[in-house]
Amino acid sequence: MKKLADFFENSEFSYLNVGEKIEKHFNDIWEEAYKPSQLKKVSENGISENIKNEAFNGLSKRGKFLCQIYDYFECKNIAEVGTAEGYQFFTFCDHIKKRKSKNKVYTCDIRDVRNKNLLNQYKEFGTFVQGTSKEMSEKIISDNEKIDFYWIDGAHHNSAVITDIIRLAKTQSKNCIWVFDDYNERFGIFEELKFISSFNENYIISLGPTASGKPNNMLIMRGIF
């Protein structure tokens, strides 16, 4: 069975360097669905041009990085908590569309603020559930599907992530990947993520700061709960 260590040892990541380019389709979704809100954060927090460039480098390439994990571990269905404007959702949908597969992308949020210009392009490849991980889990089960890749980027308060895991655990495939954003001490979810990281093989990585200039890490885990 492939391990996270194998992925990081055997994959190419030079594209993550500042100044390196990525494929146009990844960048186009970033520009359309996510960059506007991140520019607003930069303005509100008054961060320097250097920090902005570092933040935007990582944020704009996060979509490709997560799809790289998806491919390496031969994942099929995806579930996301925290749709927002849909940057990661549309990136996943685009990836599945280009692979010409019948795999599915599920996503949930309590608000529907998805980018309207991208909705029609990917409506056949993703399912949006307006609600929480509870309603999304119910939808996945009703579709008789299993999830191989989870992207958890929802609420940051205490117990939020544990709640999402409990709700989604019944949808797991046998060898799934979990990726948790915002693994940082400033968030209430930090201690619970630190606790659950001891359950399975895990890896912590930063692609750069947030658009508000604060540090940010992702916790990647392989295996079921």
Return the SS3 of 175. Answer: strand
Domain count of the fold of the chain: 1
Domain assignment present for 39: yes
The pLDDT value recorded for residue 43 is 95
Instruction: Decide if 17 is inside a domain.
Output: no
Of the pLDDT bands very low, low, confident and very high (cuts 50, 70, 90), residue 161 is very high
Question: Confidence band (pLDDT; 50, 70, 90) for 116?
Answer: very high
CATH number for the domain harbouring residue 163: 3.40.50.150
116 in any annotated domain: yes
Q: Give the per-residue pLDDT at 35.
A: 97
> Which domain covers residue 28, as residue numbers?
4-11+23-222
Q: Please report the pLDDT score of residue 123 as a whole number.
A: 87
Q: Write the pLDDT tens digit of every residue in 121-132.
A: 998 999 999 999
What percentage of residues in the chain have a pLDDT greater than 70?
100
Q: Which residues contact 82 (CB under 8 A, 6 or more apart)?
A: 108, 109, 152, 153, 154, 155, 181
Distance CA 43, CA 69 (A): 32
In a domain, 194, yes or no: yes
Kindly state the average pLDDT of the residues 174-194: 94
Question: What secondary structure does DSSP assign to 32-82, as a single string?
Answer: HHTHHHHHHHHHHHT--HHHHHHHHHHHHHHHHHHHHHHHHTT---EEEE-
Residue 18 lies in a domain: no
Asked whether residue 168 carries a pLDDT value surpassing 90, the answer given is yes
Q: What is the model's pLDDT at position 224?
A: 87
Query: What spatial distance separates the first Cα and last Cα of the chain, rounded to whole Å?
Result: 17
What is the mean predicted confidence (pLDDT) over 198-219? 95
Mean pLDDT of 5-23: 97
16 in a domain, yes or no?
A: no
For residues 199-215, give the mean pLDDT. 95
pLDDT over threshold 90, residue 71: yes
- The pLDDT, as a whole number, for residue 154 is 95
Continuous segment of H or E residues that includes residue 10: helix 4-10
d(CA 148, CA 169): 11
Check residue 177 and give its pLDDT. 98
Judge whether residue 108 has pLDDT over 90: yes
Distance separating alpha carbons of residues 28 and 60, to the nearest angstrom: 9
pLDDT given for residue 1 in this prediction:
82
> Does residue 201 sit in helix, strand or coil?
strand
In percent, how much of the chain has pLDDT > 90? Answer: 94
